[in-house]
């Protein structure tokens, strides 16, 4: 956030500013009354102009000043809202309190308060999020911090921004369980100047900083931006097969024959499965063949104390596959001997 953030409360900022009000407003950002910003000269600045006439008199040159014309710069009401998310936010269906991030910037030339609104029911997307709650970035780090950042309450803590100052805003909302892989949802934040908004050029008499008028700028004093959620789900299908090799060169399941089990895990969807583990109990009436586990054709050890993915604990084999993205398969084999 550029600049500081203050709640509006019941403060009315309109009218001539007292010295105390001036000091309070200055905490919103470092603003020199003669400095220029994105919207031009600061509202309330007096533009002074005096003309002169000169002529040659009997005793030498004579200079006469005109009266001084003073024009107080009106407040220009402008705001921009931008998504601070780098792209679609990957989420799972049913996820709760998912965060979208925005930056609201006062591009006007006066200190202004803004009303914030979240819209999760935009047309043209695939699903709508629910239970939207707006938070203000209290610690100014650009990251939502539960228990630290402040819930926004319209009319109570509307952000007041100095010219060119910004505030980070978060919207937390829930993803419906009905959302499916590849679907997108739009979440929009809008910010509207409390003094007024509408058609550019619309004037609000006497309501600008410094006692001048407030005039709606090119943004209509109403800005909005959207972030998007993208469902990236993944599922796993596990298929098991067995091949028998007997000690006579055939494939009869007789005592002493070897069974080779194959487990094929197929991951589908556009997301990834995290911490995917495959386990298989050693069947009754069989004996596990030591060090027979393979993953993608590579031998794994039975020990769970080493770095590879396989282990055998005396009753089951286990293979830790880690994070596996959709569209991939993992093949595991191991052997037992029929007792």
Would you state the pLDDT for residue 219?
Answer: 97
Q: Is residue 135 part of a domain?
A: yes
Residue 330 burial by Cβ neighbours in a 10 Å radius (0-12, 13-18, 19+): buried
Domain boundary among 75, 102, 121: 75
Taking alpha carbons only, the member of 159, 151, 157, 136 closest to residue 28 is 159
H/E element holding 18?
none
Q: Is residue 262 part of a domain?
A: yes
**35 and 169 share one domain:** no
Domain boundary among 38, 57, 75: 75
Distance CA 274, CA 277 (A): 9
Distance CA 324, CA 268 (A): 10
Q: Is residue 11 part of a domain?
A: no
CA torsion through residues 148, 149, 153, 157, sign: positive
Q: Is residue 2 part of a domain?
A: no
Domain count for the chain: 3
Q: Is residue 242 part of a domain?
A: yes
**35 and 138 share one domain:** no
Would you state the pLDDT for residue 209?
Answer: 86
CATH of the domain at 93: 2.60.40.10
Distance CA 207, CA 138 (A): 29
Q: Is residue 181 part of a domain?
A: yes
Would you state the pLDDT for residue 39?
Answer: 74
**262 and 174 share one domain:** no
Structure tokens at 255: 């005592």
Q: Is residue 212 part of a domain?
A: no
Q: Is residue 173 part of a domain?
A: yes
Structure tokens at 304: 């769970």
Query: Which residues are CB-contacts of 295 (< 8 A; sequence separation ≥ 6)?
Result: 309, 310, 319, 321, 330, 331, 332
Per run of 10 residues, the mean pLDDT along the chain (length 339 residues) is: 43 34 33 54 92 93 94 94 96 95 97 98 96 97 96 97 97 96 96 97 93 95 98 93 96 96 94 94 97 97 91 96 95 97
Would you state the pLDDT for residue 23?
Answer: 29
Would you state the pLDDT for residue 305?
Answer: 84
**96 and 192 share one domain:** yes
**173 and 85 share one domain:** yes
**98 and 42 share one domain:** no
Would you state the pLDDT for residue 37?
Answer: 65
**188 and 62 share one domain:** no
**47 and 133 share one domain:** no
Would you state the pLDDT for residue 211?
Answer: 86
Show the domain range for 56: 19-75
Q: What angle do CA 42, 47, 49 make, to 5 degrees?
A: 165
Taking alpha carbons only, the member of 228, 232, 239, 324 closest to residue 269 is 232
**224 and 99 share one domain:** yes
CATH of the domain at 324: 2.60.40.740
**112 and 238 share one domain:** no
pTM beyond 0.75, yes or no: no
Three-state secondary-structure class, residue 127 = coil
**263 and 297 share one domain:** yes
N-to-C CA span, the chain: 71
**280 and 162 share one domain:** no
Would you state the pLDDT for residue 156?
Answer: 97
């Amino acid at each position: 956030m550029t600049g500081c953030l203050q709640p509006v409360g019941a403060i009315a900022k309109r009218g001539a500013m007292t010295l105390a009000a001036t000091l309070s407003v200055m905490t919103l950002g470092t603003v020199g009354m003669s400095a220029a910003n994105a919207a031009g000269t600061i509202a309330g600045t007096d533009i002074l102009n005096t003309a002169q006439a000169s002529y040659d008199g009997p005793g030498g040159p004579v200079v006469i000043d005109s009266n001084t014309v003073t024009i107080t710069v009106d407040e220009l009401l402008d705001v921009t809202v931008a998504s601070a998310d780098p792209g679609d936010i990957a989420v799972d269906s049913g996820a709760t309190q998912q965060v979208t991030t925005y930056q609201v910037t006062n591009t006007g030339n006066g200190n202004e308060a803004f009303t914030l609104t979240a819209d999760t029911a935009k047309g043209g997307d695939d699903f709508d999020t629910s239970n939207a709650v707006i938070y203000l970035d209290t610690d100014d780090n650009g990251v939502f911090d539960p228990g630290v950042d402040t819930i926004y309450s319209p009319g109570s803590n509307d952000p007041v921004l100095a010219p060119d100052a910004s505030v980070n805003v978060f919207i937390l909302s829930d993803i419906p369980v009905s959302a499916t892989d590849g679907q997108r949802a739009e979440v929009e934040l809008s910010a509207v100047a409390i003094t007024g908004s509408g058609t550019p050029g619309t004037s609000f008499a006497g309501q600008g900083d410094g006692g001048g008028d407030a005039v709606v700028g090119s943004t209509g004093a109403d800005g909005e931006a959207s972030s998007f959620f993208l469902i990236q789900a993944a599922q796993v299908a596990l298929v098991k097969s067995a091949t028998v090799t007997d000690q006579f060169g055939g494939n009869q399941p007789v005592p002493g024959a070897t069974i080779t089990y194959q487990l094929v895990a197929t991951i589908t969807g556009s997301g990834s499965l995290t911490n995917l583990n495959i386990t298989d109990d050693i069947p009754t009436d069989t004996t596990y063949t030591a060090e027979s586990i393979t993953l993608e054709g590579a031998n794994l050890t039975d020990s769970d104390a080493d770095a590879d993915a396989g282990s055998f604990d005396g009753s089951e084999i286990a293979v830790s596959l880690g994070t596996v993205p959709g569209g991939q398969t993992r093949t595991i084999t191991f052997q037992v001997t029929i007792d």
